[in-house]
A and B are shown apart, each in its own frame.
Chain A
Amino acid sequence: MVGGIKPAFELKSAGFTLPIIRLLDVDLDAVAAQLAAKVEQAPDFFRNTPVVIDLGGLPETERDVEFPMLVGLLRGHGMLPFGVRGGTEQHHRAAQAMELAVLGESRVPRDKAQGRGAPPPAPRRPAPRTEPEPDHEPLAAAPPPSGSFTLINRPIRSGQRIHALGGDLSIVGAVSSGAELMAEGNIHVYGPLRGRAMAGMNGNVEARIFCQDLQAELVSIAGHYRVSENIPAALRGVAVQIFLDGQALRIEPL
């Protein structure tokens, strides 16, 4: 080590899932009243929780968002507002004046009704990477991330665990039994899926699993899982998509 200087920090990137307050009205009195009711139902949920304010749902209006009041309101309920997304240039300037960060476009679909399960591309997401797990063989040379997905062009062997942070994961090759795939977004497997696949890792209920040949040991969307034993024989060995329908995990042939 040059000069014997011990590194005091590392720079890394990671993806987080945060609650979003989606403003539908600039009338803060209405917001305040409804928010108080919500917080009352689950006060612990909001305590010390960082939140992002989404301005994308505001109707077009001349009126400004009163950020100082909004921030005060959220803080008053124990939340830690730290950024905004969406909205106009004017909104952004006002937000920055309150030391709020201006975040990039979302990766989560705006509306459940629109584009279910197909998150739009995300230009400013933190770079996804495969995360080494102790006791497992991470892919030492995961291909460089591009956009918000991870593409791996070779088979995933028993004992390997691929964790794609912050996006979709595509595997071109077989996934062996005893291998494990995890992604915050969708998982695509172009080859037999014999191991475990867990999509929507951070609770994204819109995530889906697509595979050409389902022989999996376990599949899961946002924690709703099904083990091999409970996958009907008719769906084994065929191309399927797997998604959440309310609380139910559905497996449908493609």
Chain B
Amino acid sequence: MARIIVITSGKGGVGKTTTAAAFSMGLALRGHKTAVIDFDVGLRNLDLIMGCERRVVYDFVNVINGEANLNQALIRDKRCDQLYVLPASQTRDKDALTKEGVGAVIEELSKTFDFVVCDSPAGIEHGAMMAMYYADDAIVVTNPEVSSVRDSDRMLGILSSKSQRAETNAEPIREFLLLTRYSPERVAHGEMLSVEDVQEILSMDLLGVVPESQAVLNASNAGTPVVLDKISPAGQAYGDMVARYLGEDVPHRFLAVEKKGFFSRLLKRG
């Protein structure tokens, strides 16, 4: 039985897809057979960030409609043979995702995979509801600003009342906070909420803090999940977050303002 993990947020553009790509790659690199599903029907971009956009033949909606089987639609990653991508359709709308259809796909994936990662669209509409419905765990991606925190809080309420686990009175979804685009400098200047501020409002387990980093943009332009960039702070932070998810006790890094030394100024790595 696979563990189903939704990457969700409420608010758009906070780093869900970046996280879904990095997290699923991180799990796969550690030897866990992982599938990552793009639920953003109509605005697909997981395939771009994963660098497999030119190999898409069939998509998630084709599988739900019985126009293709799962094996035809799953794209195996070229860098890691434990990782598979199920891309979204760019031409359909989100109503193509039915509860039964999504359930059947997830059930079939559950038979052969260790982890199924669901990249949720923004908002709290149908697509986001479908992405979280079957989840066992939720990674709530949040930026250190008030509106993002508020939307995450709203999403947490939905997770605890509208998911399959909630509806069947099963054990609740495990909820993890991932703070992304964190900038210690801006926190120090009072322009951003601190880790403590966010945790005080959301009171949930902190899975990781990913710093704001140019490396993320470079990685997505190159179609490489940023976790493969082992030098950048963002890549390392995603590596840590995967380890923590798997139960390792890893201290949090990149929370304080770095003292710019001579070499780091010289190298100027983002």
List the interface of chain A (C-beta within 8 A of B). Answer: 137-141, 154-160, 173-174, 176-179, 194
Contacts and interface: CB of A to CB of B under 8 A. Distances in A.
B169 A157 contact: no
Contacts of B154: 157-159, 178
Given A173-B203, A176-B201, A178-B150, 8 more contacts: A141-B161, A141-B169, A157-B154, A159-B153, A159-B157, A159-B158, A176-B157, A177-B150
A95 to B, nearest CB: 42
Nearest to A194: B201
A154 B157 CA distance: 11
Contacts of B166: 140-141
A160 B158 CA distance: 8
Nearest to B166: A140
A154 B160 contact: yes
A155 B203 contact: yes
Contacts of A177: 150, 153
B162 interface: yes
Contact of A140 (B153, B156, B162, B201): B162
B208 to A, nearest CB: 21
Contact of A137 (B162, B169, B201, B203): B162
A157 B156 CA distance: 7
A178 B147 CA distance: 12
Interface of B: 150, 153-154, 156-158, 160-162, 166-167, 169, 201, 203
A111 B157 CA distance: 40
A137 B161 contact: yes
A158 B154 CA distance: 5
List the 9 closest A-B pairs by CB distance, nearest first: A157-B157, A158-B153, A158-B154, A160-B157, A140-B166, A140-B161, A137-B161, A159-B154, A157-B156
Given A140-B166, A140-B167, A174-B203, A158 B150 contact: yes
Binding site secondary structure of chain A: loop
Which of B150, B158, B161 has the most A CB atoms < 10 Å from its CB? B161
Given A155-B203, A174-B203, A139 B153 contact: no
A138 B158 CA distance: 9
Nearest to A138: B161
Contacts of A141: 161, 166, 169
Nearest to B200: A192
B157 A179 contact: yes
A179 B201 CA distance: 13
Contacts of B157: 137, 156-160, 176, 179
Given A141-B169, A176-B153, A177-B150, A157 B203 contact: no
Which of B158, B160, B167, B169 has the most A CB atoms < 10 Å from its CB? B160
Contacts of A155: 156, 203
A177 B203 CA distance: 13
A173 B202 CA distance: 11
Contact of B160 (A157, A174, A178, A194): A157
Nearest to B153: A158
Given A178-B150, A178-B154, A139 B161 contact: yes
B158 A137 contact: yes
A14 B153 CA distance: 30
B93 to A, nearest CB: 22
A140 B162 CA distance: 7
A196 to B, nearest CB: 14
A195 to B, nearest CB: 10
A238 to B, nearest CB: 16
A139 B163 CA distance: 11
Nearest to B162: A137
Contacts of B203: 155, 173-174
Contacts of A137: 157-158, 160-162
B18 to A, nearest CB: 24
Given A139-B160, A140-B161, A157 B153 contact: yes
A141 B161 CA distance: 7
Contacts of B169: 140-141
A141 B158 CA distance: 12
A2 B201 CA distance: 48
A43 B73 CA distance: 74
B104 to A, nearest CB: 23
Contacts of B156: 155, 157
A160 B150 contact: no
A174 B161 CA distance: 17
A86 to B, nearest CB: 40
Contacts of A159: 153-154, 157-158
Contacts of B167: 140
Contacts of B150: 158, 177-178
Contacts of B161: 137-141, 160
Nearest to B157: A157
